[in-house]
Amino acid sequence: MIIQLKQSEAAADLPLPAYQTELSAGVDLQAALTEGSIELPPQQRAAVPTGLFIAMPEGVEAQIRPRSGLALKTGLTVANAPGTIDSDYRGEIKVLLINLGAEPVTIDHGMRIAQMIFSPVLKATFQLTNRLDDTSRGDGGFGSTGLYDGAEQQDSREPS
């Protein structure tokens, strides 16, 4: 699949997105900052520019996801993960980051801040009905399948 890509002047010195290993699912996105750094205090958000504009074929979306090492080391993650970029969007890709850590995090120009995964899009057609097929789960929602497998572990919310 070919993705057309345009870079802003802010990203002109940055490498094009690339897969870091042969089996990587996503490409890293870097911060393209024109004026120094961004200091992100704990529990605050920022839309960080990448300087990238893309054109994807119809039927493809890009998902913006956190980088696990960045989240583990700094608490920095993608606030709306996964962020969706539709195939008809032509604006700059920005990454909505949030600092979930206890300390401020400095985002520098060129810092790898997220990853982008390309996925096929399936379109649904909806049909109104009065009845849905029965399943073994039924309408069991949040937490309905428990925390542990087997009888030796007990869900901490259940009385002993």
Q: Could you state, in order of their start, the residue ranges of all structural domains in the chain?
A: 4-11+28-120
Q: Look at residues 51, 32, 43, 53 and name the one whose alpha carbon lies nearest to residue 107.
A: 32
Mean of the per-residue pLDDT values of the chain? 93
- So what's the pLDDT on residue 142? 86
Q: What is the CATH number of domain 4-11+28-120?
A: 2.70.40.10
Q: Is the pLDDT of residue 39 over 80?
A: yes
Per-residue pLDDT reduced to its tens digit, 25-36: 999 999 999 988
| Residue type (1 letter), 11 | A
Per-residue pLDDT reduced to its tens digit, 52-86: 999 999 999 999 999 999 999 999 999 999 999 99
Return d(Cα 48, Cα 2) in angstroms, integer: 25
Return d(Cα 55, Cα 45) in angstroms, integer: 27
Per-residue pLDDT reduced to its tens digit, 87-116: 999 999 999 999 999 999 999 999 999 999
| % of the chain residues with pLDDT over 90 | 82
Quote the Cα angle for 21-112-120, to 5°. 60
Q: In the structure, what pLDDT confidence band is assigned to residue 157 with cuts at 50, 70 and 90? A: low
Per-residue pLDDT reduced to its tens digit, 137-150: 888 888 888 888 86
